[in-house]
Amino acid sequence: MLINADLHIHSRFSGATSSSMTIKRLAESAPKKGIDVLATGDCLHREWQKEIRECKKIDDGTFEMGKTRFILSTEVEDKNRVHHLLYFPSFSQVEEFRKRIEKFSNNLDADGRPKLKIDGEEIAQIAKDLDVLIGPAHAFTPWTAIYAYHNSLKDCYRDLSEYVSFLELGLSADSDYADRISELHRLTFLTNSDSHSPHPVRLAREFNRMEVSDVTFDEIRKAILRLGGNKVILNVGLPPQEGKYNETACIKCYRHYTLEEAISRRWKCVCGGRIKKGVKDRVRELADLDEPKHPNHRPPYLHIIPLSEIIAKAIGQSSVFTKKVSDIWESLVSEFGSEVRILVDADIREIAKYSNLAVAEAIKLFREGKVKIIPGGGGRYGVIELSPSDSDPITFNQQKSLLDF
């Protein structure tokens, strides 16, 4: 069977996170996006654990509320500011992991994403001891990622690097970026939202399609490890240019620079702000291949833009958070079942019946690849532009239906 899974989110107990990030709200929102499974995030946090336990227990590592299943996960920050994702087979392993790290953290119950005074190798050793999966979170982003502070997996995890089984690409990278780095070829790539809000422009803006025998932690674990025929068959995510750290740019005024310009300016913008190296340039530094070389196990990458963004652009709204955008989104999802179906499968003429011609035309342009993106950088997301002219540049190829994969 095929499932869609977003395996990195946060609860309302993490910093800078919406108070609406409750288990109940997430369970209601996921099916509207077309998602079957969410990772809980923040499972080391005592108060969040109480909410997770409100779900029906399917097995030791799988929980269900409504139509949504959850697996236990957390994100932690090591002493070098690198973020790591962990997936747990049961609450007993969560508790044992918590006991092992308590002496290394001052904020286990203050923040859903705790800071630990140990490094990546030490965290990976604990994970291995407890049969917990571990991998780098948003691996290329310039602030709190493995490649912001290390030049290789071994630099970060040292003798435990071989235990690392997956890497999360992050919003500013895709598999074409990452597969220019040979050391990553053995890893499973995950595309997750890292959502801090249940709003449809955030939750499941990236997700993974997996082939499994059942919707359980053990089956998802086997898909990540590529065991028993289980596997990730499709990575779905934003075009990298839409990510807010794609290009090298100032974090104050968002002026973009080439890598050479930034170096010559000693990373100081003309406005006096700090220039932050973008993912595209960081990959160039790390790459040992001129072009991506995808291993046989690497699935296709389907670029997708949140429906709310397309609606807002089509009807001339300056924000995706307006009532008008929300009403059209809700109407379409109510009729067609999920955002994913609307974006890639539903008949355009039918979409026009339940929204308006401008929205239907915008979705059609997205499917045909007639979308331009002004790249993001410095902490500001890229901007999409719908382009009806065949002569205008586009940022990705014509989109297939999910049924094609």
How many other C-beta atoms can be found within 10 angstroms of the C-beta atom of residue 310?
A: 23
* 317 & 260 share domain: no
| This prediction's pTM | 0.94
In a domain? residue 284: no
Give the pLDDT confidence of 2-55 residue by residue, as tens digits. 999 999 999 999 999 999 999 999 999 999 999 999 999 999 999 999 999 999
Give the residue-averaged pLDDT of 260-276.
98
Domain boundary among 241, 263, 294: 241
Q: What is the CATH number of the domain that holds 149?
A: 3.20.20.140
* 118 & 214 share domain: yes
pLDDT at 389 over 70: no
Domain boundary among 255, 275, 295: 275
In a domain? residue 152: yes
pLDDT in the model for residue 405:
44
Tokens of 228: 């028993």
pLDDT at 400 over 60: no
Give the residue-averaged pLDDT of 397-403.
46
How many other C-beta atoms can be found within 10 angstroms of the C-beta atom of residue 254?
A: 17
* 184 & 320 share domain: no
Identify residue 287 by its one-letter amino acid code: A
pLDDT at 199 over 50: yes
> How many structural domains are present in the chain?
3
pLDDT in the model for residue 398:
45
pLDDT at 324 over 90: yes
pLDDT in the model for residue 334:
96
Tokens of 221: 């674990």
pLDDT in the model for residue 391:
39
The residue range of the domain holding 333 is 306-404
* 224 & 101 share domain: yes
Where does the pLDDT of residue 404 fall: very low under 50, low under 70, confident under 90, or very high at 90 and above?
very low
* 267 & 233 share domain: no
Length of the chain as a residue count: 405
pLDDT in the model for residue 126:
98
DSSP classification of residue 240: G
pLDDT in the model for residue 392:
43
| Sign of torsion over alpha carbons 322, 323, 328, 332 | positive
* 149 & 257 share domain: no
* 49 & 81 share domain: yes
Give the residue-averaged pLDDT of 288-305.
97
In a domain? residue 291: no
Domain boundary among 188, 218, 241: 241
* 199 & 212 share domain: yes
Average pLDDT, the chain: 94
Q: Which residues pair with 23 in a beta bridge?
A: none
pLDDT in the model for residue 300:
97
In a domain? residue 143: yes
* 92 & 195 share domain: yes
* 314 & 266 share domain: no
pLDDT at 192 over 60: yes
In a domain? residue 281: no
| Separation CA 405–CA 187 (nearest Å) | 21
Give the residue-averaged pLDDT of 156-168.
98
In a domain? residue 350: yes
pLDDT at 220 over 50: yes
* 113 & 248 share domain: no
Where does the pLDDT of residue 369 fall: very low under 50, low under 70, confident under 90, or very high at 90 and above?
confident
**240 — alpha (psi -120 to 50), left (phi > 0) or beta?**
alpha
In a domain? residue 369: yes
Give the pLDDT confidence of 108-142 residue by residue, as tens digits. 999 999 999 999 999 999 999 999 999 999 999 99
* 229 & 208 share domain: yes
In a domain? residue 288: no
